[in-house]
Structure 1
Amino acid sequence: MIVINPNNNSLTFGTIVVVDDMLLEGLDDNSTLIGRSQGLGATVGRDGSLESMINFVFTEGKYNGSTLAIYGRVVLGVTIERPVIGGTGMFRMATGYSVATPVVVSASKLVYEFDVYVWHKEMKDN
């Protein structure tokens, strides 16, 4: 899950957005913090759509120190499907896709639930 607290509800063409948001294990606000969602986006469509680059940076559990990179088009407030284009650590050579579904949409808070389907080869360090 990602929690986004937008400062500007009207994203006009050319707006750049930078995020560093909580990555929680579940939908509850008291869920375990497992990392951060860090990235940037820019509005590229006159309809308010964004081109976004997000890294899930894992800081807890089995995937601590690993990242997943997700890239693609976003329209805020609707279900978003984007490709997984890589990763580090446990997710080296990752490929796959993510489906992000909005679960809270308000003037001050936007929360998405992510289902991420990843194929990767676990690499052993020498």
Structure 2
Amino acid sequence: MSMAQGVVLGESKAVEKWFYKLPHAKQKVTKFRFYFHDIVSGKNPTTVQIAQSNMTAKSPTAFGFVSMIDDPLTVEPEPNSTIVGRAQGIYGSADQNEVALLMTLNFVFTTGKYNGSTLSVLGRNPLFHQYREMPIVGGSGVFRLAQGIAAAKTYSLNTTNGDAIVEYNVKLLHYHDI
């Protein structure tokens, strides 16, 4: 099959057909929960720091560090729980006054009814707030043109090694019956 910018040309016709039907589509509200496992320690970390500024080590908020992530998403908070996908992207400390991250990532679903679909998140994550919400700015597959909120709540944080488990409650609008 021919490829154009990573898309199989036959599949791009299916997307074109999908967009043609879009004016007649209904929006659907979808809600679900999963757990994000951000592992920075040990032999197989899922998060690695890729950059920092000269002042990061002196900053009380670690301002200026940037990390690349490929974190598992699970059904329950236990590390051996069923994996439903991965959180892949970049986050960095973007606030000089409080610990707050700029999150740019995709939730990539690898099993179940959302298998092969993604949600894109771009937003501010003030880590020590009990409730944080970040906008969902798009998606693919089942979630084409999705918009919504990814609400985060820390389930556990190991202050010694930095590993964290975060509960995400997602609420989004997307199209169906196309």
Same fold (TM over 0.5): yes
Structure 1: give runs of 5+ residues left out of the alignment. Answer: none
Q: Equivalent residue for 2:37? A: 3
Q: Which runs of 4+ in 1 moved over 4 A?
A: none
Match of 1:30 in 2: 80
Of 52-61 and 41-50, the range deviating more from structure 2: 41-50
Pairwise CA distance, 1:112 = 0.3
Aligned 8 A contact 1:77 1:105 in 2: no
Q: CA deviation at 1:11?
A: 5.6
* TM-score scaled by length of structure 1: 0.88
Q: Alpha-carbon deviation of 1:2?
A: 0.3
Distance 1:59 1:86 in 2: 18
State the TM-score, normalized to the length of structure 2: 0.64
For each residue in 1:11-60, what CA deviation from the matched residue of structure 2 results, as whole angstroms up to 9, or x when unmatched?
Answer: 62211111110010122223211110111012221123221112100011
Q: Which runs of no fewer than 5 residues in structure 2 stay unpaired?
A: 1-34, 42-48, 50-59
Counterpart residue number, 1:63? 114
Residues 37, 79 of structure 2: 8 Å contact kept:
no
Distance 1:13 1:73 in 2: 14
Q: Percent identity?
A: 34
What is the aligned length? 123
The residue number in structure 1 matching 2:102 is 51
Q: CA RMSD in A?
A: 1.8
Equivalences for residues 1-126 of structure 1 within 5 A:
1-6=35-40, 12-46=62-96, 47-78=98-129, 79-106=131-158, 107-108=160-161, 109-122=163-176, 124=178
Amino acid at match of 2:95: G
Deviates more, 1:49-58 or 1:10-19: 10-19
- Segment of structure 1 superposing worse, 46-55 or 80-89: 46-55
Change (3 A) 1:48 1:77: closer
